[in-house]
Amino acid sequence: MTKVEHYIQTLGNSADLLTKRQTSIYFEKLSNTFPFLTIMQINWRKVLIKKSTRHIEEIKKWLQEMNINEHQVVLFWKRATKAVSVDLAQALLFFQQTADLTEEAFIYCPSVDYVIEYFKDGKMMIGLAAR
């Protein structure tokens, strides 16, 4: 079992495993909404509305300040071919409780166009697409 498969299993029944096609569609929407560097990272210099943090609580607070109440998200691991649809609270709890994360990830909300990029060192960037 790969690390990503283990992570998906850890999320359990709260997550819906997406097909490769669904994953591809959501990732295409993400990459069309946010500027990417060639190394599979968002070019945060080009995102106007953003915040850098290492704390889950700051992400929750930022979303409240931005009046964002939509919490159904798609969780992508950068090296995986499948993603999961999950509630934001469950995704954040997963990152908080999983100390051995070695895969960088994106949490993307396609209905509101916000994204959280999680880095291996524990840093997180959250941003909102310009409308």
pLDDT at 99 over 60: no
The pLDDT > 90 percentage for the chain reads 56
Separation between Cα atoms, residue 110 and residue 101, nearest integer Å: 24
Domain count along the chain: 1
Closest CA to 14 of 77, 63, 58, 75: 75
Q: What is the pLDDT of residue 3?
A: 66
Look up residue 7 and give its two tokens. 């992570």
Domain carrying residue 107: 3-128
67 φ/ψ sector (left φ>0, alpha ψ -120 to 50, else beta): left
Look up residue 44 and give its two tokens. 């945060």
